[in-house]
Each structure stands twice: as structure tokens, then as C-alpha cells.
Amino acid sequence: METGVGPIGARAAPAPNAGKIVRLRWIKPYAEATSQVCMGEIVRETAEYLVMKGVVLNFRKGDRQAKRDEERVHWIPWAQIAIVDEMPTDLKWRQTEFFVDEAGQIAFNR
């Protein structure tokens, strides 16, 4: 696993949250945007970005289906992050089927 990167690109101490499985939602600055949630694991953190390896789930309010994108590495600016939820350490996020629950949140069957 990669370590954190300092503000000028030099290697720093290991990212304290590297390897944690999280569900993250970020803010989109335009009204017609879909809600986007990234599910996966933290790779590293920089002063400007949280770097995650995961899948992005796109959905609209009132829609119970979430469109799942391919797994990839995402660099998400800290300023755009609305919320991060730490998930159970045994969650197999690559194999998990996700859906939108009645409250409009991404959920999964355990």
C-alpha cells in the first residue's frame, strides 16, 4: 500500500487511514448532478485530496437503483467531501450489491 504524500510531493509517514473501507459522498456544484457515493478503501491522503480505490455509485433522488461504475482510483478534493462513513472491516465491497434505501441512502445486504 502506498504511503501518504506531503504538500510538495515528498513521501511522508504512512496514511493513518490507509486500508480502511469507507463510503464517501461528495458535493456536486450543479443542480442536475446525480448523487455520487464512492465505496472502497483509502489508499492515501494528501493535503488536498483523499485518494480511494473503489467504485462510484450514481443515483437520483427517488430512484432505488444505483448505477455502479468500474473500480478505479479516485482523487477526491477534501473541500468536495460531504461525509465519510467507516464501514465494517470485513465488508467485501467488490462483491457487494448496493441499492438505495427508502431514506435515499446507499445500503447493502450483509
pLDDT tens, the chain, 110 aa long: 344 444 444 444 557 888 899 999 888 777 676 778 889 999 999 889 999 999 988 877 767 777 888 999 999 999 999 889 999 999 888 888 877 777 777 777 76
Residue 82, in any domain of the structure:
yes
The residues that bridge with 41 in the sheet, in sequence order, are 21, 53
The pLDDT, as a whole number, for residue 41 is 95
| 67, part of any domain | yes
Residue 92 forms part of a structural domain:
yes
In which domain, by residue range, is 82 found? Answer: 21-108
Rg of the Cα atoms in the chain: 14
Whole-angstrom distance, CA of residue 108 vs CA of residue 38: 13
The distance of Cα 81 from the centroid of its chain, to the nearest Å, equals: 9
What is the pLDDT, as a whole number, of residue 76? 92
Total tally of structural domains belonging to the chain = 1
Per-residue pLDDT at 110: 62
Structural domain contains residue 59: yes
* Residue 10 included in any domain: no
Residue 11 belongs to some domain of the structure: no
CATH number at residue 70: 2.30.30
State the pLDDT at residue 2: 41
**How many CB atoms neighbour CB 57 within 10 A?**
22
CB 80 within 8 A of CB 27: yes
Residue 81 lies in a domain: yes
